[in-house]
């Protein structure tokens, strides 16, 4: 009777261990999937910022072509083109600042988050080792239980049950510690990603606002161009004498 009660208790413990193991694995797998996607998002955004830096170079080449072209144009268009060049140059400066801020206030915090997750992965791997050790002890205990009592060594069952209990307590402690740390990390992840996204939005709004203000200054120069007056400058008709 005692053996039956003991087996039932052990079965209940094993069932709970399995449930906790499944829960733990689900949490870890979920966060690992998020980590993979976050890593991809960081990579794509870094490529986008690299493209912005290449665009700056191309824009400077475009500005040079405007300047060269303006040298051949009428005074009114020369002034308008000069204003456009100045605006595009300032827009480039704003873009350089935007890329710098994005790297530090958006990409930076996300990369730090990934590094912290790597350290959590080390803890998780250590816990999985403890899990495997526990499972081996568990199997050994089952083998001892299956032996006829006459073939067991003195105190063999008692010793294996004590070893099992000790391993289970150690595994439970490590598992709970890792779960707590993982859940705390998940909270920090949400806070960090939310803050980084707010930074990204704020930086972009500031960039577009500043660019718009610069470009709006060009409009009066374009509006001031008088086609008729410019035409008279270009085509200086000879007069009869």
Can you give the residue ranges of every domain in the chain? 35-232
Average pLDDT, the chain: 84
**Closest CA relative to residue 208, chosen from 97, 103, 100, 109:** 97
Dihedral, CA atoms, 131, 137, 138, 144, nearest 10 degrees? Answer: 170
pLDDT value of position 226? 86
pLDDT value of position 175? 79
**Fold assignment, 35-232:** Substrate Binding Domain Of Dnak; Chain:A; Domain 2 (1.20.1270)
Average confidence (pLDDT) per 10 residues, the chain, 241 residues: 47 63 76 86 94 90 90 89 93 95 96 85 76 85 84 84 86 80 85 96 96 93 85 61 59
pLDDT value of position 218? 92
- Global pTM reads 0.71
């Amino acid at each position: 009777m005692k053996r039956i009660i003991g087996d039932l208790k052990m079965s209940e413990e094993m069932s709970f261990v399995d449930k906790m193991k499944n829960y733990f694995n689900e949490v870890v797998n979920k966060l690992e999937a998020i980590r993979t996607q976050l890593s991809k998002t960081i990579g794509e955004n870094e490529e986008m910022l690299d493209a912005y830096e290449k665009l700056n170079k191309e824009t400077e080449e475009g500005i040079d072509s405007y300047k060269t072209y303006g040298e051949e144009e009428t005074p009114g268009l020369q002034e308008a083109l000069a204003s456009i060049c100045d605006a595009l140059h300032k827009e480039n400066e704003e873009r350089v600042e935007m890329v710098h801020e994005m790297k530090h206030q958006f990409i930076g915090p996300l990369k730090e988050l990934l590094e912290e997750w790597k350290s959590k992965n080390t803890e998780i791997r250590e816990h999985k080792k403890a899990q495997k050790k526990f499972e081996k002890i568990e199997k050994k205990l089952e083998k001892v239980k299956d032996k006829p009592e006459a073939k067991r060594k003195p105190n063999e069952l008692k010793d294996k049950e004590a070893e099992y209990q000790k391993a289970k307590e150690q595994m439970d402690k490590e598992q709970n510690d890792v779960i707590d740390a993982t859940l705390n990390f998940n909270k920090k992840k949400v806070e960090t990603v939310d803050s980084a996204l707010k930074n990204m939005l704020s930086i972009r709004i500031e960039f577009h606002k500043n660019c718009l203000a610069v470009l709006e200054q060009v409009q009066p120069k374009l509006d001031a161009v008088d086609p008729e007056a410019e035409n008279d400058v270009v085509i200086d008709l000879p007069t009869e004498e």
